[in-house]
Amino acid sequence: MNAVNIGLLGLGTVGKGTATILERNAAEILRRAGVPVRVAGAVVRDVAAAQAWQADAGLSFPITSDGDALVADPDIDIICELVGGEEPALRWTQAALDAGKHVVTANKALIATHGDALFAKARSKGVGLRFEAGVAGGIPVIKALREGLSANRINWLAGIINGTGNFILSEMASHGREFADVLAEAQALGYAEADPTFDVEGIDAAHKLAILASIAFDTTVDFDALHIEGISSIQPEDVAYAAELGYRIKHLGVARRRDAGLELRVHPALIPEKRLLANVDGVMNAVVIHGDAVGPTLHYGPGAGAEPTGSAVVADIIDLVRGGAHPAGAGIDEPKALPVLTSAEFRCPFYLRLEASDRPGVMASVAGIFGDLEISLEAILQKEPSALDESSVPIILLTRDVDEACMRQATTRLEALDDVLSPVVTLRVETLD
């Protein structure tokens, strides 16, 4: 039987994991795919370094620095784009699809920003474009949405889909540490890049959320329409107060279907500590998907790493070899654009922390603003004055569901009070009901 030849664009962490799995599990892959699957070539910047790794790993396949030639090679059946970034990844992916080759990618930014055009090209050429590894590493959440949950109308999904941010918030919760301190440790451990912006400011998670939402709701997603907030402003006292109220702070990606459109947002949020998602710690990822028939399902596992991510790449390869249905997109038809709500239209409970003068009547003034705006309060917590400033006290409030536009009015009015001494800290609450 003829082997299926794989071309690896990139032999970094994910590329090495993919090559290793294809070699080590060759017999199992043959049994599941029905034909041998082998690496027939790889593209790297530093050929000598890649060959040294290859010799240590006991692998043998051609390595080159010419990506255009590998993509054009008629003997290559499936291209695995594992270089990341926009260029040359986009050019090589387009060329592979134009040449009638299936493509598997781990490049979340590529799919989030150019996915619609690439899917259209794949459909026109009758080939597959798979991207399981681009969202949550080794967790098969794309397959869960497209296959296991395909009988459901998806109501919402919420996920911890960036391991770096989750590691930082987990350490802040467990040990009361400052954000900057934990970030430095994450960089030393290799969890965070020297420039951690994509991770801690929510851009990485937003790319993944855009992909998940496009499949869950069978829609096109304009990445610029997503609401994105990072975690760099989270303070240890808010982590501690949240815990006192029975919550954990997590960096969430949330996609929710509303009557008026979709909520697509990435931001820190309080989650009730009894929820399984609240107890996902360290660099692990997890996604809760709520379908109308099945209810909530939790998908948990490693969100990064050589072999966990390589596992997702190889699974996509096997699926394509076996002739997976509709490999270019979420369904038979082209997805339809749905309206995306602005942040002012979001609706959820809120956590607020304010520093107020420690004198009679202040709490009544605060409560009066919420009464005027018809915002119901779930809890009020007034702490003791600080030893450094006995004239002020922290006040923590939890609201019930409220439109964000109304919440902004409340915050503006609170900050206008003479007895509110600093900007009000607000965080959303996700009950995952």
274, 286 Cβ separation under 8 angstroms = no
* pLDDT at residue 65 is higher than 90: yes
Fold category of 346-429 in CATH: Alpha-Beta Plaits (3.30.70)
Widest distance between CA atoms in the chain: 85
What average pLDDT does the segment 341-348 reach? 94
Cis, peptide link before residue 88, omega less than 30° from 0? yes
Q: Is 10 helix (H, G, I), strand (E, B) or coil?
A: coil
Instruction: Compute the half-sphere exposure of residue 81: CA atoms within 13 Å on the CB side of its CA.
Output: 32
Looking at residue 148, its amino acid is: G
Q: Is the pLDDT of residue 358 over 90?
A: no
CATH number of 4-136: 3.40.50.720
Query: How high is the pLDDT of residue 384?
Result: 77
CA gap 158, 190 in Å, rounded? 26
User: Tens digit of pLDDT for each residue in 6-43?
Assistant: 999 999 989 999 999 999 999 999 999 999 999 999 99
Catalytic annotation present for 208: yes
Mean pLDDT of 239-254: 96
Q: Give the mean pLDDT of 347-362.
A: 92
**Mean pLDDT over the full length of the chain:** 91
Instruction: Show me where the domains of the chain are located.
Output: 4-136, 141-302, 346-429
The amino acid at 23: E
Please give the Cα distance from 392 to 410 (Å, whole number).
21
Per-residue confidence (pLDDT) for residue 332, from 0 to 100: 47
Catalytic residue (one of 101, 108, 208, 250): 208
Determine how many CB atoms are found less than 10 A away from the CB of residue 408.
13
Quick one: average pLDDT of 275-292?
95
Q: CB of 66 within 8 A of CB of 43?
A: yes
CATH of domain 141-302: 3.30.360.10
Question: Is the model's pLDDT at 326 over the cut of 60?
Answer: no
| Least-confidence region, from 106-120, 174-188, 315-329, 398-412 | 315-329
